[in-house]
Amino acid sequence: MTSRPVLEVGGTHVLASRVDAATWRVELGSVHRLPLDSGGTAETILATLAVCAGRLGLAPPETLAVAIPGPFDYPAGIGRFRGVGKFDALAGVDVGRALHDRLAPPPARVAFVNDAEAFGLGEWLAGAARGYQRAVAITLGTGVGSAFVAAGRVVAAGPSVPPGGHVHRLALDGRPLEETVSRRAIVASYRRLVPAARDGLDVREIAALARGGDETAARVFSDAFCRLGAALAPWLARFGAQVLVAGGGLTASWPLIEPPLRRGLGSMSGDLVIVRSADPAAATSAGAAWHSQAAAGAPAGPDPGAAPRPLMPAGPGER
């Protein structure tokens, strides 16, 4: 059996699908999506996840792969959310056991992976980073997620990656990166410059203003993503990245993001492929399936198939 069941958990939705492990593509007709209230009770959240996963027709020998944002104890399957504005009700909850008990028939096991890491693995397997050996993936939305991928392995430690392999742990001018680059940061920056901006203004509206010629809105995007590039540049160089793939809700405004991002990267952008993901959800599902198969101790699967680009040297102490 090459079909791998996957659950992708987001702040507003949950998506279930099956991934063909021979091609690492989402199987046609296998996708099910339900709205999800990440601010709801634990029972409401878990029930929604179970209903969505149940639509995959799980078989007892199967492993259910779950891509979910942090903070989360991925090996133990326990939520560590507290004061993050979403999934707080899952703090201390054994999500793996809860899903297993709610599914009939239950899967053999439930394997969890960070959603940004799954996205990076999926882009390496079958997306924009296919064929590259050293890829960095970032997700831009409520925060900045990241994955540093070397030949199908997420690098989370060592001098060539930020602490834990997490870009959001970087600082700009002594402040967390996400206070400069995130949905809330862009809205706050625009409101500082335009105090008369109406309440409830969304980043999509600011992007529309920028595309329509609003110089202040354009400057907010330019400043944020130029600074993101400057923060990323030394780590991309240390890692020997060949490709940078961006996904997440903010990339809907990619024409406003890519030029300042390149400027911020400086000389690093000359040798680096920079691309927006064509299908972040499919990449995340593929990466979660790949991770769950490897975590189970089975071979991770067939080679992605594209002729690899020349391998950049590994950073010292990577693991």
The answer to whether residue 294 scores a pLDDT higher than 80 is no
Which pLDDT value is given to residue 270?
85
Mean pLDDT value across residues 253-257 = 96
Take residue 27 and report the two structure tokens written for it: 């199987």
Amino acid letter for position 160: S
In this predicted structure, what is the pLDDT of residue 95?
96
Kindly state whether residues 23 and 137 are assigned to the same domain.
no
Residue 144 and residue 229 in one domain: yes
At 36, which amino acid appears?
L
The mean per-residue pLDDT over the stretch 245-252 comes to 94
Q: Is residue 243 part of a domain?
A: yes
* Stretch among 97-111, 142-156, 295-309 having the lowest mean pLDDT: 295-309
94 and 159, same domain (yes or no) = no
Domain termination site, one of 84, 114, 144: 114
Q: Are residues 238 and 137 in the same domain?
A: yes
**80 and 190 share one domain:** no
CB atoms within 10 A of CB 285: 33
pLDDT tens per residue, range 174-231 = 899 999 999 999 999 999 999 988 888 899 999 999 999 999 999 999 999 999 999 9
The answer as to whether 294 is a domain residue is no
Q: How confident is the model at residue 190, as a pLDDT?
A: 94
Evaluate whether residue 155 is within a structural domain: yes
Per the structure, the complete domain to which residue 265 belongs is given by 128-278
In this structure, are 136 and 259 located in the same domain? yes
Q: Which of 289, 220, 297, 304 is nearest to 3 (CA)?
A: 289
Would 222 be classed as within a structural domain? yes
Looking at the fold, whether 133 and 103 belong to one and the same domain comes out as no
**What's the burial of 248, exposed, middle or buried (CB within 10 Å: 0-12/13-18/19+)?**
buried
Whether 304 has a pLDDT exceeding 80, the answer reads no
Which pLDDT belongs to residue 199? 83
Residues 36-89: pLDDT tens digits?
Answer: 999 999 999 999 999 999 999 998 889 999 999 989 999 999 999 887 778 999
* Domain tally, the chain: 2
Same structural domain, 266 and 132: yes
Same domain, 262 and 140: yes
Answer yes or no: is 147 within a domain. yes
Q: What is the CATH number of the domain that holds 213?
A: 3.30.420.40
110 and 151, same domain (yes or no): no
Dihedral sign for Cα 21, 22, 23, 28, please: negative
Average pLDDT over residues 228-239: 96
Q: Is 296 among the domain residues?
A: no
Can you give the length of the chain in residues? 319
pTM for the model stands at 0.90
